[in-house]
């Protein structure tokens, strides 16, 4: 298919004209003018409710943005992804994380192989293993049940499992504690090991190639620690692998029967649905893991079948395009008003910025417009007392995604009402702002002198008109979490299509890895100053001196 160019789209000029009107809008006034605005600009699907009405849009804006999606042939490209076409052109791969959550009995053939049958076979093996650990049937070398699970991985092999295990904490097995080690910085693993008992710890080594530098460094250190506390013959009871490299796995000492594979059509940042999610399945159990998959599949079906005009991922992606390429916003703040979603902003950083942090089209030509904004955030209400000042009164306008569950998983009184009150109030405050006249009226009512009012009025004025989207879940469950993650996955796809990108490669990650190998050899062996610039050579020299190595 030809690469889509946003500025060349027939709808681009119409959106530019719409932008001239939008620059005159105050969203608070749009609500006054249109009593049906909330109903018209809010949508439901797969158990999620999404309110877009506080964005700087009207119904015609959405109409034009959907025309933009039609110009880009989004529906055809979406169908190609679900069909298993090799849409990851630079790596000649299909993109089938959606196949990981399709029901058993479905059929999807890639290169004459029914991948759904393969997925189900691995899922069945994972389920059998997880239930043995959870029941206590799988025991450590001294006959005691496993109490601690340590997932060693990095990138998608770490961010997804850790985020989902925390998000679904209320569903966790009461005996099992999950831990995650990713950083090659030894302080990460060193802080964890003293907390563990080798006889009751299970390590999951998550690396598709079983050669990932950071992961295998941590894995070898964990192996050495275990062998200081137990005989080598017992290693297979305490280490399993998520990988495709049987030879390397067995050389490490892991039984091939306890290696859980996944496929090259599963990208790392889309892999939590695969065997990479083994730590999550161990924590919440196979039935809840299947509910997690089912929630994502429900969003997949919604994305495939809902009209563009009411399709949650499509609208979320298109409004993001409007904010980025027309209104000029260069970052998005993610504000989950649920403590168990504390890691969700970090998860989205990889999902979005590794996918669409690109500067060339699929055909290699330079993109003419800005692509992925910076993704950042923290939980509410913590963010309110940290960086919301900048969002309210700073010089840059940054859209916010508010995420909240209507029902909590705790029984503490008063907390949930106050949490939701803060969430809804912040979205209202960003939209409404506070005018100079409102500030004056408020201070006069407080009996403040006119001279003091005029000194303070500018400081207490809020410009408002700061766009936000609010996503509501009934409660945070495996199914709604699955749907939420899938919503953002498909949003990324939509925006990649509009920007003409390949959202499924990540060549930008590779250069630093290659250079790091060279520098590591110089930190441990002979330096080669001819390979580097003056700064890098100076840094290497200081590190060598600190380690007591001569030049």
Tokens of 340: 């168990």
Is 54 a residue of the active site? no
438 is catalytic: no
CA distance 240 to 203: 6
Buried b (16+ CB within 10 A) or exposed e, 340-374: bbbbbbbbbbbbbbbbbbbeebbeeeebeeebbbe
> Active site includes 513?
yes
Sign of the torsion angle spanned by Cα atoms 304, 310, 316, 318:
positive
In whole angstroms, give the CA distance from residue 523 to residue 519. 6
DSSP letters of 511-536?
HHHHHHHHHHHHHHS---GGGS-HHH
Strands 109-110 and 48-51: unpaired
Helices (H), 322-467: 344-348, 355-356, 388-393, 415-432, 436-445, 450-460
Percent helix / strand / coil, the chain, rounded to 5: 55, 15, 30
Q: Is residue 248 within 8 Å of 211, Cβ to Cβ?
A: yes
- Which listed residue (109, 407, 513, 528) is catalytic? 513
Catalytic residue (one of 385, 407, 415, 528): 385
Q: Is 10 exposed, middle or buried (0-12, 13-18, 19+ CB in 10 A)?
A: exposed
Helix (H) or strand (E) holding 202: strand 201-206
Cα–Cα distance measured from residue 172 to residue 148, given in angstroms and rounded to the nearest whole number = 12
For residue 366, the cross-strand partners are 360
Q: What's the burial of 550, exposed, middle or buried (CB within 10 Å: 0-12/13-18/19+)?
A: exposed
Q: Name, in order, each residue with C-beta under 8 angstroms of 326's C-beta and a sequence gap of 6 or more.
A: 15, 16, 18, 19, 22
Residue 17 makes CB contacts below 8 A (sequence gap 6+) with none
398: its two tokens: 């940054």
Residue 228, helix vs strand vs coil: coil
Q: Given 214, 234, 352, 354, which residue is catalytic?
A: 354
The answer to whether the beta carbons of residues 93 and 99 sit under 8 Å apart is no
Give the residue among 356, 373, 348 at the shortest CA–CA distance from 497. Answer: 356
Q: Which residue from 432, 434, 433, 425 is spatially nearest to 470, judged by alpha carbons?
A: 425
- Is residue 463 within 8 A of residue 393, CB to CB? The reply is yes
CB 388 within 8 A of CB 346: no
Give CA–CA dist 60/319, Å, rounded: 12
Whether residue 189 contacts residue 158, with contact meaning beta carbons closer than 8 Å, is answered with no
Cα distances (Å, whole numbers) of residue 24 to 19, 29, 325: 9, 11, 17
Length of the chain, please? 551
Q: Which residues of 262-287 are buried (b: 16+ CB within 10 A; e: fewer)?
A: bbebbbbbbbbbbbbbbbbbbbbbbe
Active-site positions? Answer: 354, 385, 513
């Amino acid at each position: 298919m030809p690469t889509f160019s946003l500025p060349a789209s027939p709808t681009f000029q119409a959106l530019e004209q719409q932008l001239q009107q939008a620059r005159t809008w105050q969203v608070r006034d749009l609500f006054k003018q249109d009593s049906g605005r909330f109903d018209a600009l809010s949508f439901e699907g797969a158990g999620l409710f999404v309110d877009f009405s506080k964005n700087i849009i009207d119904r015609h804006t959405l109409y034009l943005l959907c025309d933009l999606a039609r110009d880009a042939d989004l529906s055809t490209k979406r169908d190609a992804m679900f069909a298993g076409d090799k849409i990851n052109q630079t790596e000649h791969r299909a993109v089938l994380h959606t196949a990981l959550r399709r029901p058993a009995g479905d059929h999807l053939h890639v290169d004459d192989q029914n991948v759904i049958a393969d997925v189900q076979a691995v899922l069945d093996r994972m389920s059998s293993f997880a239930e043995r650990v959870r029941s206590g049937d799988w025991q450590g070398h001294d006959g005691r049940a496993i109490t601690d699970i340590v997932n060693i991985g990095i990138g998608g092999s770490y961010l997804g499992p850790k985020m989902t295990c925390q998000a679904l904490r209320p569903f966790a097995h009461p005996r099992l504690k999950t831990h995650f080690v990713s950083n090659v910085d030894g302080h990460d693993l060193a802080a964890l090991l003293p907390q563990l008992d080798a006889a009751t710890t299970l390590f999951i080594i998550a690396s598709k190639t079983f050669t990932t530098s950071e992961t295998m460094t941590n894995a070898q250190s964990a192996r050495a620690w275990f062998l200081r506390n137990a005989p080598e013959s017992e290693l297979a009871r305490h280490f399993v692998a998520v990988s495709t490299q049987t030879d390397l796995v067995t050389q490490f000492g892991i039984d091939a029967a306890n290696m859980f594979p996944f496929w090259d059509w599963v990208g790392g940042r889309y892999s939590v649905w695969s065997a990479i999610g083994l730590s999550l399945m161990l924590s919440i159990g196979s039935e809840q893991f299947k509910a997690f998959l089912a929630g994502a599949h429900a969003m997949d079906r919604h994305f495939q079948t809902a009209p563009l005009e009411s399709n949650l991922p499509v609208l979320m992606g298109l409004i993001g395009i409007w904010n980025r390429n027309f209104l000029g916003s260069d970052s998005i703040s993610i504000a989950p008003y649920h403590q168990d979603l504390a890691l969700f902003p970090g998860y989205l950083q990889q999902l979005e910025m590794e996918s669409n942090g690109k500067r060339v089209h699929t055909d290699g030509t330079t993109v003419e417009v800005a692509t992925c904004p910076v993704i950042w955030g923290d939980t509410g209400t913590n963010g309110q007392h940290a960086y919301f000042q900048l969002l309210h009164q700073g010089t840059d306008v940054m859209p916010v995604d508010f995420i909240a569950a209507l029902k909590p998983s705790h029984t503490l009184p008063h907390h949930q009402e106050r949490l939701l009150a803060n969430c809804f109030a912040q979205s209202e405050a960003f939209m409404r702002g506070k005018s100079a006249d409102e500030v004056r009226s408020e201070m006069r009512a407080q009996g403040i002198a006119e001279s003091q009012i005029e000194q303070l009025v500018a400081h207490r004025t809020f410009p408002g008109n700061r766009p936000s989207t609010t996503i509501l879940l009934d409660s945070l469950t495996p199914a709604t979490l699955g749907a939420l993650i899938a919503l953002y996955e498909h949003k990324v796809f939509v925006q990649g299509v509009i920007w003409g990108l390949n959202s499924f490669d990540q060549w930008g990650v590779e250069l630093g890895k290659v250079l790091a190998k060279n520098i590591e050899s110089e930190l441990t062996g002979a330096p080669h100053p001819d390979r580097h610039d003056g700064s890098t050579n100076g840094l290497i020299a200081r590190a060598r001196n600190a380690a007591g190595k001569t030049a």
